[in-house]
Structure 1
Amino acid sequence: MTRKWIYPVLLTGLFALLIRLSLPAGCVYGSTTDWLSQHTALAETIRTAMLEQKTLLPTYLSLGGGSNGFQFSYYGYLRPDILLGCLLPAVSMYKIVIAYALGGYLLSVLLFYLLLRRHNLSGFDSFMGSVLFLTASCFFHTHRQLMFVNYMPFLLLALLAVKKSPRRMPALLPLWMLLICLHSFYYAPACFVVIGWYWAWLSGKYFFRPWFVSCALGGFMAFALLLPTGLSILEHRRASTSGDAGLATFFEDFQSLLYSSYGLGVTLIVLYLVILGVAIRKYRAISLTFLLLFLWGGISYLLNATLYARAKILMPFLPLLLLHCALILSDLKNGRERWQLWPFPLLFAVIFRYLHKSYWTLVLTDFIFLLAVVLLAMAVSEERAEASEGVTSMPGSRLRYLLSRFAFLCLLIIPCLFFLRSASKEEFVTQADMDAALDKPALALYTDSLYRYDSLVHPLVNGNREASSVRSKSSMYSSVYSNEYSQVYYDYLKTPVQINNRLAILTANNPFLLNFMGVRYLETSPSHVPAGYRVLWEDGKTAVSENTSVLPTAYLTTDTMTDTLFNRIKGWEQAEALTRTTVIPESEADASTISGKVSTKNADGWHTEIRYYQPLWSSKEIPATVQLTTTGDIKNRSYDLKVSRDSTVTLTFKQPIQKQLLLLKFDVVNHTGKAVTITINGVKNKLSAPSAAYPNGNEAFQYQFLASAEKELTKLKIKLPKGHYTLRNIRFGLLDASVFQEKSWNSVESLDTEKNEILACRASTDEDTWFVTSIPMQKGMTLFVDGEKTDLVTVNTAFAGARLTAGEHEIRLCFDPPGMKAGIWISMLAGIVWLSLLIFQHFHANKERH
């Protein structure tokens, strides 16, 4: 092995060791939260859509009732590992994702080492800087939020290209910028800023023109992805749930820089070097810029497109930060600059803010260790001027050299420990859990395109999984979603909120939801098959059941009410109204389409069949771990609960409930900083902790329990979490189970779809009627009736529908994502311009040689 390969080999070995030590036995390299439920699940779903639709840009995914595919493009459209998955369809997508993530991580470390070497740092100095890069806690996201870091190798290739050619546009730079956009368009603006800053660092004012041209070419070549994605984001934009102060945000404890895996996640040695750089003239400006960047949250706020001021957007600055620190460290090691103790009071003031953190002991150890190493380095520092050639080494110089190297290597211990600490906080997926998530029921179903297939088995894990043209799902988990669809799902149909945020639209055992969204096939555990469903298959762990009475995803009806009336009714009655009738715009209503269920005698115009109910209990089983205080009268009773550990309360009805839907609602007041999750008869509601990244605000818990003649409701089994909280405004209601057969509707005949069609059917009616779907309305939809374009109307507040005249009709609902065709043309044109520039540069270079 030649000398120049020693340090890359050592880096590769250290990388393998740290990854091995961070991964528990029997686990897969990925988290049980976002990695499993979003990144790998959507990678599999996107690959399936690519293969089915025979395109690299699927226009439509059968998630969330049916969605613009570009709502999910952040999770893998045109990303190389997904494209590789299309070439290897027999290989599980999660294996390809893991291999690609780890490969990109290692490549980033080696490219950063090369970048340091290009700045004339020695192999040892470059190795030290590269270890700091390798151990940065932000790389935690190679097994959680992939897009936080998966652009890193292409960012480093861009920096290396600029280093090689700082006076003109590097030939391949637009390609690296394109790949940054394809891997993580959210981080692309920050990456482009980093490239521009580095270019200015190298060449001063000459950087702007070639940098701007490179950004334009790289960005425009990605427009096939960026334009339709941007239009989708604008269509479904939502207000930020953040409580940040925006431009007035400050990271006083430098959590944007230190320790956190949602910042850069480096240790005190980096902050020490940046502060020390302020006292060194040639490093002063850059050090001050970095201190401003990591102290003032306003820059993060701007880079996050004013959504919130969060440090995660600063991760692309890691290479420049550590390059800056490596240069200072090299000068200190080689005696060109002096070690100083004056930064330590400032460092202690920073770490004192971590006093009450669970990892305070490790933070304090970091401070003490750094101080000891600096003192040791000061004691054995090398002479400023190197000995001239031929001068005999002074006695002890070899020992001083070894002690100096030892002091510097000691600086790498704490970063490695913090890297392992961050990994130890991850909930890695076990191989058994991964196998269970991928396990498919051994049941061949012909899933009619007019019905859906959902899962109550780990709804978060399965929310984005297995969607295809024949297995449409009502669930989805993406940062871009239809606000109107989410409102129907949670606010109108009263579906329980099961996790910390409402970004995830998850299937739940809610009879209103399952009926309305046409969930004919349902995966559950064998002991939790909902009433109305008949078991088709089970294996002891999972059961697949069918309900033939749910509404299809498209049907005809004259049973309607106006949106004006719908908006006047509240609470459970809105779920009841969507179940019994169809909501249409006031402007489209006439006497022929208004349902007889709408009462002209009632002041509100709506006659509800919900009966408010006060249950009687034959027994109450309350464990001693639940301390209960009751206030208020029988109609407005509140229960203050102090639960010393997770407990179960069982309430048995004096009279079992049959053929009715039991409705239960109560408000939760949380008296602690922890989340409150209450599960009743297997149905879970959660109020997130106030500190959650996207708090769900779910203070009103809603439950619905359907009892049939065969499956009567005899008790409520209530699982309470440890904590202190109050349940108040408790209300029960009853609704006859026949409510699910009350809506008058006629079926349509499914037809094969073609090209960009998402629904094709044949309908026959003897009178003017409404064509109703449970496919969310979105821009890009076009309806053709008998070959003629027909106006679409929003029905049930969020879904596509239309008026039909009497007769037989062929109906085809088409979808073209807004901006996709224009984006493809722009990408092609930008690609041609880039290739033309390459050819011009090639001939110009040949001309100069001759």
Structure 2
Amino acid sequence: MYGSKLDWLAQHVSLADYFRQTKQLLPDSFENLQGQTNAFSFSYYGLLRPDVLISYVFPNIPTRFFIIGYATFLWASTGGLCYCWLRNKGYKDSISFFSSICCICANCFFQSHQQIMFIEILPFLFLSFILIDKNKRQWISLCICMALFHNYFYTPGMILILLLYDYDQNHTIKDILIPILIGMGMATILWLPTGYLILMNHKSVVQTHILDLFIPSLNLKGLVYDSYGCGLTVISWIALFQGIQFERTRKLSILLILMFVFPIFSYILNGTLYARTKILVLCLPLILMILAHWLQERKLNKGLLVLASLFLCTKTMLLGLLISLVFIGYYFMDKKECLMIYALVPMIVFTGLNYNQCLDSKLYNSIYSKDKQKLIQRNDLNQRTADLDQVGYSVNHIYDLKEMKASSYTSTSNSLYNTFVYDIIKSPVSQSNRTIITDSENYLYLSMMGIQNVLSKEANLYGYKEVDSEGKYKLLKNKNVFPMVYVTSDTISESKFDKLFYPYNLDTIYNRTIVNGETSNEYASKMKLIKNLDQSIVIQNKKKTKKTIPIDFDTKNKMVCIDFDVKNYTEKKVFISINGMKNTLSKKHSVYPNGNKHFTYILSKKELKQFDVTLSKGKYKISNIRVYTCDMNVFDRVVTKVKPLKTTSIFKGKVTTSKDGYLVTSYPYEKGYEIYIDGKKQNVEIVNKAFVGCKIKKGSHTITIQFHAPFKNAGLGISVLSIMIGGFWIWKKSKNL
């Protein structure tokens, strides 16, 4: 299947499929993911993209066909637009065709079946170049708008490249500024509320040292072969140096060489987030233009050829250099037919690197399981559902709209909720990227997030009973989890809670709601230390290994908490699973390091006789091993449920309480929530460190909770106004021409 495992399957297809199920064009929030979240948390994955919107009209055709078909269409369009652009600039048919083959065989198009938004912006960049050359800049506003709908993160870089191109070709940028601004205005409905959301949520990335940005990088990853860059062949690097000899391309060639050598340019184009070279894919058209110009001029500067060769120091690059030299020798001996022969090189390189990268249909079918879908559709779910099968891939998949999940995978996940899941209640960090909030059997996670239903292949989960099964999957239920909205007077101040240490804060947060303010309630943790092993264990595995460790203490009706420190001695990631619960430490130079150097496991099996441990390959040290237990009857708190009523709001319900207390929800807090008690707007507070709540007086009350995505209406208004202005301006400019 033309897709990939994690990002394509767990984000692009699953989310597009969910968007289609909701049948909403511009919702404020999504109730089925991340415990109820701002809809613009997922805008990056096709919320307003044409292929996703078109799929709404054909609900019986699987979403993957639209995703695959559209990605392939844009890929092919990029090659066609490249040919038209170069041909219109006066380059020969053969040279334009050759350059377009180099374009569509660039290894960056590997992303067309993985992280598709990285390259779906390229057709609009090529089209903008054509419009500049034809002096039809007014239409560029539509290209900018479409680019923002496909990839708002790369569009600022695209705009800089457009300004560079217009200045290089026409020595002015003033004529392009208005269409750029209008295009940005048209897409404000997407980028304004999304941009605000990003600013409100911190994301951990690898730290960049400023001085390192000025140290030349000679690996040329942004240009040659690598799929997280342009992915061209060695001939493109040689062409950049040869471009220096021509007055028309000299300045641009020097600038592009500097961009691929010094990380500071990638850092700027990435908005100072990091210095990853994949942003340099936006330079692809300019490189191909210089290549076409050199081939058309047919002038070879041997000194510049030698200088370019000095950068090519790996075996692969040296082989590429040798092949390029043979081609150059024949081409400049007036054997023009070798141009088409060399076109086979990028084809072979692309195919050789990517032939085995497609998704196994068995994995796809396990995520889109008919058995799971039947279980969901024929049962009353009431509250949230967790899927403990293939947690990394099923994280965003919704089988039916009555299935509400607390998990999510998006690059703009709620940072408060992320901290709650991984740092407070200590769910395992099972993936290298911490932005993935996966389901787990952590009882605190299941209970506090109101997860009544669990899909699993096993039924050995404390508090959950099997109520139905289909094929190899079982549906488990536990009606004793917290309601999604409830009232309680059992509270603890945030200042007191912050003084507690793991694991003694685990049963505390379950039995006391954390609020901002002083309270008189006290709670003494019931956690007990069973084992304290101070010795270190160095693991040296050449392959993944499994071990069984017998248990020599009582685990009946007990929660078992295990934690230890991990130190990695290699460049690869480390993972350790205990009874199916997995923790991962990302590799040393990961772009999104999870920082998970302290592995924690909270096991709540009905019956636990032994520890089944799986250890990844590599060399790493385990130290400071601690084992704690706590009676499960400690996790049996009584709260006052707010009885839900039918509503179009996030929630509406009635409750009667005998004491003053707090209204508590499991909706992750973010700006935009409003709570009304008996029609009166309340001051929304953060409770339990991450969730929406407020104070409530004793008595009978009607509760209404609403959410409005911040800046959505402002973005919509600006977009409508920009479309009207842009339409008039395009009509006027076109009429004058």
**Contact 1:57/1:77 (CA < 8 Å) preserved in 2?**
no
- Residue 5 of structure 1 aligns with which residue? none
Q: Are residue 291 (structure 1) and residue 253 (structure 2) matched?
A: no
Equivalent runs, 1:64-79 vs 2, <5 Å: 64-79=34-49
> 2:596 aligned with 1:693, yes or no?
no
Equivalent of 1:45 in 12, 18, 21: 18
SS in 1 for 2:245: coil
Match of 1:377 among 323, 331, 335: 331
What's the counterpart of residue 12 of structure 1? none
Q: CA deviation at 1:58?
A: 4.6
What's the counterpart of residue 712 of structure 2? Answer: 820
Aligned equivalent of 2:240:
274
User: Does structure 1 retain, via aligned residues, the 8 Å contact 2:241–2:308?
Assistant: no
- 2:473 is the alignment partner of 1:542: yes
Which of 190, 193, 196 is matched with 2:157 structurally?
190
Kindly report the root-mean-square deviation, in angstroms, between the aligned alpha carbons of the 2 structures: 1.9
The aligned counterpart of 2:529 is 612
Alignment of 1:138-537 (within 5 A): 138-165=108-135, 170-205=137-172, 208-243=173-208, 245=210, 247-248=213-214, 250-332=216-298, 337=299, 339-352=300-313, 354=314, 360=315, 362-378=316-332, 380-381=333-334, 404-424=335-355, 426=357, 428-440=358-370, 441=372, 442-443=374-375, 444-445=377-378, 447=380, 451-466=383-398, 470-525=402-457, 527=458, 529-537=460-468
- Counterparts of 2:533 and 2:386 in 1: how far apart (Å)? 38
The corresponding residue for 1:564 is 495
Give the superposition deviation at 1:469: 5.3
- Please give the secondary structure, in 2, of the residue aligned with 1:840: helix
Q: Which moved more, 1:554-563 or 1:536-545?
A: 536-545
**Aligned-residue offset at 1:198:** 2.2
Contact 2:654–2:703 (CA<8 Å) still a contact in 1? yes
CA distance in 1, matches of 2:337, 2:733: 48
The CA distance in 1 between the partners of 2:564 and 2:734, in whole Å, is: 72
Task: Measure, in 2, the Cα distance between the counterparts of 1:777 and 1:676.
Answer: 32
Count of matched residue pairs: 733
Distance 2:150 2:474 in 1: 38
Matched, 1:31 2:1: no
Q: Could you say which residue in structure 2 is the equivalent of 1:392? A: none
- Which letter does structure 2 place at the counterpart of 1:648? K
Contact map agreement 2:493 2:519 (CA 8 A) in 1? no
- TM-superposed CA distance for 1:425, in Å, is 6.2
The within-5 A match list for 1:592-603 is 594=521, 598=522
Counterparts in 2 of 1:57 and 1:519: CA distance versus 1, 3 Å: closer
Deviation at 1:283, TM superposition (A): 2.1
TM-score (norm 1): 0.84
1:662 alignment counterpart = 560
The aligned amino acid for 1:219 is M
Q: Which moves more between the two structures, 88-97 or 537-546?
A: 537-546
In structure 2, runs of 5+ residues without a counterpart are: none
Amino acid at match of 1:838: I
For the residues of structure 1 that align with 2:265 and 2:697, how far apart are their CA atoms? 57
Deviation per CA, 1:166-185: give whole Å up to 9, x if none: xxx53422112111111111
In structure 1, runs of 5+ residues without a counterpart are 1-27, 355-359, 382-403, 599-605, 615-633, 846-850
- Cα separation, 2, equivalents of 1:751 and 1:701: 42
Say if 2:576 is the partner of 1:678: yes
Q: Which residue of 1 is the match for residue 700 of structure 2?
A: 808
Cα distance in 1, alignment partners of residues 647 and 312 from structure 2: 62
CA distance, structure 2, for counterparts of residue 249 and residue 99 of structure 1: 42
CA apart distance, 1:528:
5.6
Query: After alignment, is 73-82 or 156-165 more displaced?
Result: 156-165
Q: Which of 126, 136, 152 is the equivalent residue of 2:96?
A: 126
Q: CA deviation at 1:216?
A: 0.5
Structure 1 residue ranges (4+ consecutive) displaced by more than 6 angstroms after TM superposition: none
| Bigger CA radius of gyration | 1
The one-letter code sitting in structure 2 at the alignment partner of 1:808 is S
Secondary structure of the structure 2 residue equivalent to 1:703? strand
Aligned-partner Cα distance in 2 for 1:590–1:645: 53
With 292-301 and 246-255 compared, the bigger mean Cα shift is at: 246-255
Return the alpha-carbon distance in structure 2 between the equivalents of residues 161 and 672 of structure 1: 50
Q: What is the CA deviation profile of residues 23-43 of structure 1, one whole-angstrom value per residue up to 9, with x for unaligned ones?
A: xxxxx1011021111111111
Structure 2 Cα separation of the partners of residues 706 and 42 of structure 1: 31
1:625 aligns with none
Work out whether residues 32 and 398 of structure 2, in 8 Å CA contact, stay in contact via their aligned partners in 1: no
Number of the residue aligned with 1:113: 83
- Where does residue 398 of structure 1 map in the other structure? none
Q: Measure, in 2, the Cα distance between the counterparts of 1:340 and 1:56.
A: 56
What secondary structure, in the 3-state scheme, does the structure 2 residue paired with 1:734 have?
A: strand
For residues 726-745 of structure 1, the C-alpha deviation after alignment (integer angstroms, 9 at most, x for no partner) is 1110000010011220x231
Conserved 8 A contact 1:60-1:815: no
Distance 1:130-1:843 versus aligned 2 partners, 3 A rule: closer
1:641-686 deviation digits (Å, cap 9, x = unpaired): 2223322111122455201111111111112222111111111111
Secondary structure of 2:635's counterpart equals helix
Instruction: Work out whether residues 204 and 593 of structure 2, in 8 Å CA contact, stay in contact via their aligned partners in 1.
Output: no
SS in 1 for 2:137: coil
DSSP-derived class of the 2:179 partner: helix
Seen in structure 2, the aligned counterparts of structure 1 residues 722 and 692 have a Cα distance that, compared at 3 Å, is same
Q: Deviations over 1:762-784 (max 9, x none)?
A: 11112212110010111011111
1:496 and 1:684 in contact (8 A); partners too? yes
**CA–CA separation in structure 2 for the residues paired with 1:91 and 1:469:** 18
- Alpha-carbon distance, 1:467 to partner: 7.4
What fraction of aligned residue pairs are identical, expressed as a percent? 28
- The residue aligned with 2:54 is 84
The Cα offsets for residues 260-292 of structure 1, whole Å up to 9 and x where unpaired, read as 111111111011011011123332111111112
Residues 322-372 of structure 1 deviation map (CA, whole Å, 9 limit, x = unaligned) = 11211211221xxxx2x24334433443221x3xxxxx3x43321111112
Alpha-carbon offset, residue 839 of structure 1: 3.3
C-alpha contact 1:467 1:473 (8 A) present in aligned 2: no
Change (3 A) 1:590 1:511: closer
Asked whether the 8 Å contact 1:113–1:126 carries over to 2, the reply is yes
Contact 2:117 2:150 in 1 (8 A): yes
2:725 match:
833
CA deviation vs aligned residue, 1:485-518 (integer Å, no higher than 9, x gap): 1111001111111111211111112112111111
Q: Who is 1:786 aligned against?
A: 678
Deviation at 1:468, TM superposition (A): 6.7
1:82–1:249 distance in 2 versus 1, CA, 3 Å: farther
1:15 maps to which residue?
A: none
The reply to whether residue 749 of structure 1 matches residue 643 of structure 2 is yes
**CA-to-aligned-CA distance 1:497-550 (integer Å, 9 cap, x gap):** 11112111111121121111111111111x364222111222342222111111
Residues 58 and 768 of structure 1: is their aligned pair in 2 closer, same or farther, counting only changes over 3 Å? closer
CA distance in 2, matches of 1:678, 1:540: 29
Maintained 8 Å contact 1:61/1:468: no
Asked if structure 2 preserves the Cα contact closer than 8 Å seen for 1:516 and 1:578, the reply is no
